Structure 1
Amino acid sequence: MASSTSGKGSQSTAGTAKGRTGRTTAPAKKAAPARKPPAKKAAAAKRAPAKKAAAKPAPSPTGGVVRLVRAVWLGCAHAVGAVFRGIGQGAKNLDPAHRKDGIALLLLALALIVAAGTWSNLSGPVGDLVTMLVTGAFGRLDLLVPILLGVMAVRFIRHPEQTDANGRIGIGLSALVIGVLGLVHIACGAPGRDEGTTAMQNAGGLVGWGASKPLIFTMGAPLAVPMLVLLTIFGLLVVTATPVNAIPQRLRRLGIRLGIIAPNEYDEGYGETEGGAADRRDRHDAEQWRARTGPSAGSGDPADAAEEEALARRRRPRRSSARPAMDREMDAVDVAAAAAAALDGVVYGGLPPSPLVADLTHGITVGREGAETTAPVPTARGERTAAPAAPATAPAPPAVPETPAEQPHATTAAASGTLSVPDLTKAPPQTQALPPRAEQLQLRGDITYALPSLDLLEKGGPGKTRSAANDAVVASLRNVFTEFKVDADVTGFTRGPTVTRYEVTLGAAVKVERITALTKNIAYAVASPDVRIISPIPGKSAVGIEIPNTDREMVNLGDVLRLADAAEDDHPMLVALGKDVEGGYVMANLAKMPHVLVAGATGSGKSSCINCLITSVMVRATPDDVRMVLVDPKRVELTAYEGIPHLITPIITNPKRAAEALQWVVREMDLRYDDLAAFGYRHIDDFNQAIRDGKIKLPPGSERELSPYPYLLVIVDELADLMMVAPRDVEDSIVRITQLARAAGIHLVLATQRPSVDVVTGLIKANVPSRLAFATSSLADSRVILDQPGAEKLIGKGDGLFLPMGANKPVRLQGAFVTEDEIAGIVQHCKDQMAPVFRDDVTVGQKQKKEIDEDIGDDLDLLCQAAELVVTTQFGSTSMLQRKLRVGFAKAGRLMDLMESRGIVGPSEGSKARDVLLKADELDDQLAVIRGEAHP
């Protein structure tokens, strides 16, 4: 039973396993029939070609003829298209000047055709078409259409470069024509289209009907007429570029030209901002007035004759110094610069560059020495008097030479199909002589001082606005963006003397980090390791990529000082720094900085910057305006300025004396603040002006002679050498000067080639807000100067970053350069004017202050401590000095002997303590004698 049961159990278990196995493997058994349908499909697929082959139609004999005709037609079309594409490519490479001439000649041809059709009733289909179109459109005024076309053609021929006015003239002419035709149509009864074509042609034509009909329908004829009159006036003002507020001025000028009104030099706005053209018009108007009014007008009254002579002699327009140079109306130099940009093809319409006008502004300056003007001359800062009039035979400024030169890269760029990138570089700024205050100034002591002439500084050539290297870089940048699939494009660039900044605009949803991540790839593509990315450009929705130019340019100091902005600002502390990436010159007022830190490695341009600062002050300021303290620990950097009258002390080369000079500056600052506080003024400029105006009165019995304080400029060429010799004294003096000296007219320029944290300490950085960094050797040095990276990527030789006070981002610039010959010429001129007057207390005042006995030596501090200890305890023991001062027996015995020689303790009495001869209330006086601060 047991075996039977176990057998059944085994069978049951086997059956269960079998059932499980059957359920588990059932899908596997059904997998075989599942392969049959593909076999049927494959068989059907094999049979399909047989059916398709059976259904193929037989070839038709006419199909070959159709294909042949189609091939011949397409071949002719391709040939004709190739011919026209070749013509179009040639037209694309055509010079823009020829294109404008073609437009002018086309307008002239249309004027002739329209004149023949409207004036002489030209017969034939062309005459009928012209009559139908022109007369039907313009009605009775069809006779004026050819005149208008002819005037436009003549303008294109005479002024091909003035393309910026085409849009304005087009809008003005449209408004003028519509308004006049509307008025003519209303005056002729306002006929409608239902009255026939003849009635329309005898009125204002289709244009007049379209202009007057809606107005008459909506508001009636009484209101339609004034609306059209206003539209006509608007068109006339737009065409003549006359604002409403300038209408009286233009009418007066018209009256002067017609001889109705006498020209007056002091008429508001007459001749302003017109440059040389205004001068020629002034002389022409004056001559016409004399011719119409007879000879008596010029000889009857000397005042009238002088007024007419001054009118013909006027050269420079009056401008407000508050407006930047780029926002003013253009004078002769600006017009020449705009013409150069137009011919270069990079400003107007984004055309590829063609002929370039070189050396535009060369020679356009007005000499200062020997040439007098009618502008006011200040005898002192803030006071002006009239200068004598210049003779009528004064030479006119030289004409602007235009020497176009072909650029071969323009044709290459156009032929390659590269899209033109607009050049956003600023136009060359206007140059102008310094104001008449620079001619002759009366100094104290009956000394006449003449400032150096700007002719002593060399003139540089015009800067490049575009070159083949820029186009190659643009193509390389676009290739990088394409290869790395970045939706970005180069939309413009601004070329500076050292680097060019390319503006990159990103597509939608493109991160700026994708551009910054390609820095190394961009550097590889343009073959330059010095690539700097600005993200974004301040004030623009674009990323800037600064790449060095392969053809660098030099920035001359004379070019910066000849600017109109420099001439209009007569502040003596205005200095030239250089030229920025956008092509604009950079100047700074040291009185507003008010202190600056200049740093850079060897060969970075730091010394050239210091030379430019000193030379700028010498050219613009007299010794009564600015006095200087020059510290040159290297002994060779500033020796060229030895003996100039601006120095208040000889050039300091000893670091110890330099520390004493800084302490003298602190004392001078305190004295100036005492005067400001005593007389109730907050700034040295207000105090000086009050002295000149005679508002400050000294108390009775005072023998002091008040005179204006000059600005005091302290220049330290190498701060590291001073910090190595006397770090505590130098740092304390610099910190005190930079904290307080601004209102006292004292300004500090610190230069170093080792901008480490032990040289430029935190206290010095915190009080020197303006920084000028040239190329540094490491990122750490850049962070010390600018508190941010960037200076380590500069390329040297004047390439710098200027961070003025209050700015968040530095401005990249190319520092100005002045040669040794230029410095020697200006220094010699200043020496010839007057000899320097030195102060004796600058470096020797501190040495006379202390008179320490030689026997004390280096034990001054220990002797003072020992004397204080013995007097306060009234116990003169050598062993006590050993314990309290932690010195040896020999040193303690020597201190006791020194105190005995000065009467502090008595003589030795063996093992007993010495008697103390000095009382506690006499201790301070005795310590002052020991320190040399008082006489015994």
Structure 2
Amino acid sequence: MFTGVGNGNLGTMASRTSGKGSQGTAGTAKRVGRTPGPAKKAAPAKKTAPKKASAPTKRAPAKKAAAKRPAPRPAPSPTNGVYRLVRAVWLGTAHGVGAVFRSIGRGAKGLDPAHRKDGLALLLLGLALIVAAGTWSNLQGPVGDLVEMLVTGAFGRLDLLAPILLGAMAVRLILYPERPDANGRIVIGLSALVVGVLGQVHIACGSPGREDGTEAMQDAGGLVGWAASKPLIFMMGEVLAVPLLVLLTLFGLLVVTATPVNAIPRRLRQLGVRLGIVEPAYEPGEVYEEDDERYDEQWREALPAGTRRGAERRRAPGDDDALYDHDSAEAEALTKRRRPRRPAAQPAMNRPMDAVDVAAAAAAALDGAVLNGMPPSPVVADLTQGVSVDRDRERTGTPVPGARDAERGDGTGKDRGAGRAGAASAGVPDHSGGVPDLTKPTPERTGDLPARAEQLQLSGDITYSLPSLDLLERGGPGKTRSAANDAVVSSLTNVFTEFKVDAVVTGFTRGPTVTRYEIELGPAVKVEKITALAKNIAYAVASPDVRIISPIPGKSAVGIEIPNSDREMVNLGDVLRLADAAEDDHPMLVALGKNVEGGYEMANLAKMPHVLVAGATGSGKSSCINCLITSVMVRATPEDVRMVLVDPKRVELTAYEGIPHLITPIITNPKKAAEALQWVVREMDLRYDDLAAFGYRHIDDFNHAVRTGKAKTPEGSERELTPYPYLLVIVDELADLMMVAPRDVEDSIVRITQLARAAGIHLVLATQRPSVDVVTGLIKANVPSRLAFATSSLADSRVILDQPGAEKLIGKGDGLFLPMGANKPTRMQGAFVTEDEVAAIVQHCKDQMAPVFRDDVVVGTKQKKEIDEDIGDDLDLLCQAAELVVSTQFGSTSMLQRKLRVGFAKAGRLMDLMESRNIVGPSEGSKARDVMVKPDELDGVLAVIRGESAP
């Protein structure tokens, strides 16, 4: 027996040892590229004796197994059949029960999520009843013992609160089933709260341990309290354990109530207001509650009976969500009504109605608030007097009934003497019914967008989180066709008829600011006939801002752009949430706005590659700059894009101070701005040196090679290659820079715009004075992309766009975008971002990382030198001549010719320059000039010539 045991041990040890040897050898063989087969053969050579000892033990099981094979055959048992029957019944029952439970599981997966949540809530409620019976009334039996062992043993004295906690969770699931995102937060908060409280209770009860017995621990904080407090007491004592547990309890309470620490005073104040302890603060808008209610009642009483009944039917229970959003409509209507307006002169009530009156009445009839039983704004409410609302008749293009039904019934539409009023009134159903709305539908946002990289790993083990698009507000749906559009179509048709022009309106596209009507000309009709009617068209539609496009790019039609009476705002968040923006991850993709066709405009600054933004005061230029910067911050990390912001106004870009994308603090001094542009030129030259040295043509190719390890430094070089970020230079007011240092600024801008595209440097120039002395010909020739907002004159429009058009824009974001390579500009409404949105995104970026500035941006290689203009390009020769004359104390023109190898004219000019600076005296004929400067004063003279301060 002893020997067998020993052999077995030796065999086991030998197998383990041989296994380790084979693993180690196999690892070595794998590293040198050999197969692990020979390693297994070589491993037993180290310990041959254990392997021999283990050989009998390995063969023995094989012999025993061979001996056991014939054992069941000799004598079959009479109970074999019974055993098999019982076994079959048992397995069949198990399979049946399993199938039942599997079917129940599949049915549970098919249940409605609301039923699942209700089932979970009822399960928690039943569990709370069982725990309450076991802890409050000493339930007898196995269930009571189990509750006492689990609940009382875990929570100790606070086991009485366990059913209350379970019941509260069940009630929350029943009342708020649509908030599953808060479940994780509540579980974490409750866990921290329970652990902290039980730990404090356990310490307060004397910290009993396992050696004191189970009853002692149950009378304290239970097993959870013991586990929470014992390690803290062992490591740092009760003095520090109690404060830590109190902090843990406070943290759990804040997490459960979703209360940040900085919001505690506000929450306490709200609690005091509810309890009546603190007086409520003044809330703007409370003054209007009584007025709003009185206004609603008056408006509903003024509605026709049919309209009131229709509104009540539409507001029936169950149809609110499907038909209309009452809260948003009411908020919009009240906002419009509260807007302060100056009292304007009211037109005479007995004057004849014209096309504008009919269009306003029709627009009021189609107003969404009126159609859904909500009060419109006061202006629209006044226009609805005498105008009935019938949705079915408006959909089929039936004329809107108004105050002139009798006149239309008398056939005044045929009378040309009635002028535009009669023509417009009679022409609405005839001419506008067949004109299609060609506006592009608003892109759907319900689809699943591509995953957006929110967490990005930067160099230096820094994790940078991009700002969430939820920080940007969402805009409402785009407005569609209204009766005002039909009235304008009728007015245009009447103008063409009166002036005998064979043209017809074939469609229109409605944008946020203007609507473009497409005009198709008849055979042998010149386009000039339409352009000549510009003033007549403006008079017909009662709008001075009419712009005619002849022709529309890509169409055989003439476009007439007319401003909308109800403009809509384009939010930056809506543009950045597009699927196109989510699919394109280029860091220089920016949002511009929404065009006249209803589509969103986005542009890649890397493909522009430089852009000129110009417009008068209040035209939307600053909002466009804010959208550009915000788009870059939302989509790019500081490792992707670095920015140089130049703000001579000192107030436009201060909101972005301290963001990590800045490569230098915001520059407000025009002289330092000129030095920063010179630094950009030097940075561009350095980047081109690297591109040339490594053989790449664009900075993207170089960065890709650095990231993949293809670009390597020469041997012996200590430099570490890193990808170059895009450098975005934004100058908010070019005119201020051109006034201070026009020559240096122009030279730097021209050099950057000519060469910086491949180096990843892009320039955005903004100015509100686009004159020829600010936007020079060299700058225009090298900045291919233009973005023009409303200008004050035709000359400014020609400076920006090289064509007219910007002088007819209506301001507040209405602009013309002319990208590189385009022949015709695109009219668009610029996106808008509020100050609160900018502040939120800036704060998010600041929280991620601090900015890293470079010190050499606003400081050149040398101080700025003021060189006299009369020296020109002869500075070096003049210094050499002065040094020669002063050192030899001999002022001779012929000596300068010989020593400097210049002609007589150049030597004479140098001598005159030295005479004007009191280095030599006046000419005395053929004699040499007197030298006025001593040799020890030579350094000071040379410093004055170079424009430096004298030593």
* TM norm structure 2: 0.51
Per-residue CA distance 1:355-406 (angstroms, 9 max, x = gap): 997789x9xxxxxxxxxxxxxxxxxxxxxxxxxxxxxxxxxxxxxxx99956
Q: What amino acid maps onto 1:538 in structure 2?
A: P
Q: What amino acid maps onto 1:913 in structure 2?
A: D
The residue aligned with 2:398 is 414
SS in 2 for 1:845: coil
Aligned with residue 931 of structure 2, among 909, 914, 930: 914
The residue aligned with 1:781 is 796
Q: What amino acid maps onto 2:471 in structure 1?
A: L
Q: Does 1:693 align with 2:708?
A: yes
Distance between the aligned counterparts of 1:500 and 1:796, measured in 2? 15
Superposed, 1:590-669 pairs within 5 Å as 590-669=605-684
The residue aligned with 1:343 is none
SS in 2 for 1:417: helix
Compared with structure 1, are the counterparts of its residues 522 and 711 closer, same or farther at alpha carbon in structure 2 (3 Å cutoff)?
A: same
The residue aligned with 1:315 is none
Superposed, 1:671-686 pairs within 5 Å as 671-686=686-701
Per-residue CA distance 1:70-128 (angstroms, 9 max, x = gap): xxxxxxxxxxxxxxxxxxxxxxxxxxxxxxxxxxxxxxxxxxxxxxxxxxxxxxxxxxx
Distance between the aligned counterparts of 1:886 and 1:930, measured in 2? 12
Aligned with residue 845 of structure 2, among 818, 830, 840: 830
Q: What amino acid maps onto 1:494 in structure 2?
A: T
Aligned with residue 481 of structure 2, among 439, 446, 466: 466
Q: Does 1:895 align with 2:918?
A: yes
Compared with structure 1, are the counterparts of its residues 626 and 606 closer, same or farther at alpha carbon in structure 2 (3 Å cutoff)?
A: same
Aligned with residue 732 of structure 1, among 747, 762, 780: 747
The residue aligned with 1:370 is none
Contact 1:603–1:796 under 8 Å retained in 2 = yes
Contact 1:409–1:468 under 8 Å retained in 2 = no
Contact 2:919–2:932 under 8 Å retained in 1 = no
**Cα deviation, residue 539, structure 1:** 1.3
Contact 2:878–2:910 under 8 Å retained in 1 = no
Task: Tell me the matched-pair count.
Answer: 532
Contact 1:863–1:895 under 8 Å retained in 2 = no
Q: Does 1:444 align with 2:444?
A: no
Per-residue CA distance 1:306-357 (angstroms, 9 max, x = gap): xxxxxxxxxxxxxxxxxxxxxxxxxxxxxxxxxxxxxxxxxxxxxxxxx997
Distance between the aligned counterparts of 1:530 and 1:356, measured in 2? 39
Compared with structure 1, are the counterparts of its residues 690 and 791 closer, same or farther at alpha carbon in structure 2 (3 Å cutoff)?
A: same
**Cα deviation, residue 758, structure 1:** 1.0
Q: Does 1:714 align with 2:732?
A: no
Contact 1:851–1:932 under 8 Å retained in 2 = yes
The residue aligned with 2:81 is none
Contact 2:919–2:933 under 8 Å retained in 1 = no
Q: What amino acid maps onto 1:791 in structure 2?
A: A
The residue aligned with 1:754 is 769
**Cα deviation, residue 913, structure 1:** 2.8
Q: Does 1:424 align with 2:438?
A: yes
Superposed, 1:69-88 pairs within 5 Å as none
Q: What amino acid maps onto 1:588 in structure 2?
A: A
Q: What amino acid maps onto 1:594 in structure 2?
A: P
Distance between the aligned counterparts of 1:659 and 1:801, measured in 2? 29
Contact 1:870–1:916 under 8 Å retained in 2 = no
**Cα deviation, residue 876, structure 1:** 4.2
Superposed, 1:283-432 pairs within 5 Å as 405=371, 411=393, 413-415=397-399, 417-418=429-430, 419-431=433-445
Q: What amino acid maps onto 1:427 in structure 2?
A: P
Distance between the aligned counterparts of 1:791 and 1:479, measured in 2? 28
Contact 1:631–1:715 under 8 Å retained in 2 = yes
Please, what is the CA RMSD of the aligned residues? Answer: 4.0
Q: What amino acid maps onto 1:454 in structure 2?
A: L
Distance between the aligned counterparts of 1:800 and 1:357, measured in 2? 35
Distance between the aligned counterparts of 1:669 and 1:616, measured in 2? 24
**Cα deviation, residue 485, structure 1:** 1.7
Contact 1:876–1:916 under 8 Å retained in 2 = no
Contact 2:893–2:907 under 8 Å retained in 1 = yes
Distance between the aligned counterparts of 1:700 and 1:630, measured in 2? 38
**Cα deviation, residue 851, structure 1:** 8.5
Distance between the aligned counterparts of 1:403 and 1:455, measured in 2? 28
Distance between the aligned counterparts of 1:593 and 1:404, measured in 2? 46
Percent identity reads 77
Contact 1:735–1:763 under 8 Å retained in 2 = yes
Q: Does 1:514 align with 2:529?
A: yes
Per-residue CA distance 1:587-620 (angstroms, 9 max, x = gap): 0000000000000111110010000000000000
**Cα deviation, residue 481, structure 1:** 1.2
Aligned with residue 767 of structure 1, among 782, 785, 799: 782
Q: What amino acid maps onto 1:608 in structure 2?
A: S
**Cα deviation, residue 469, structure 1:** 1.5
Aligned with residue 483 of structure 1, among 483, 495, 498: 498
Compared with structure 1, are the counterparts of its residues 849 and 294 closer, same or farther at alpha carbon in structure 2 (3 Å cutoff)?
A: same
Compared with structure 1, are the counterparts of its residues 824 and 912 closer, same or farther at alpha carbon in structure 2 (3 Å cutoff)?
A: closer
**Cα deviation, residue 487, structure 1:** 1.7
SS in 1 for 2:609: coil
SS in 2 for 1:650: coil
The residue aligned with 1:26 is none
Per-residue CA distance 1:747-778 (angstroms, 9 max, x = gap): 00001111111111111111111000001111
Distance between the aligned counterparts of 2:480 and 2:613, measured in 1? 30
Compared with structure 1, are the counterparts of its residues 929 and 443 closer, same or farther at alpha carbon in structure 2 (3 Å cutoff)?
A: farther
Q: What amino acid maps onto 1:688 in structure 2?
A: N
Q: Structure 2: which 5+ runs fail to align?
A: 1-97, 108-320, 329-367, 373-388, 400-427, 897-905, 922-926
Distance between the aligned counterparts of 2:623 and 2:793, measured in 1? 21
Compared with structure 1, are the counterparts of its residues 928 and 911 closer, same or farther at alpha carbon in structure 2 (3 Å cutoff)?
A: closer
Contact 2:818–2:826 under 8 Å retained in 1 = yes
Distance between the aligned counterparts of 1:517 and 1:291, measured in 2? 85
The residue aligned with 2:825 is 810
Q: Structure 1: which 5+ runs fail to align?
A: 1-289, 300-354, 363-401, 900-909
Per-residue CA distance 1:19-46 (angstroms, 9 max, x = gap): xxxxxxxxxxxxxxxxxxxxxxxxxxxx
**Cα deviation, residue 436, structure 1:** 3.7
SS in 2 for 1:414: coil
**Cα deviation, residue 584, structure 1:** 0.2
Contact 2:616–2:792 under 8 Å retained in 1 = yes
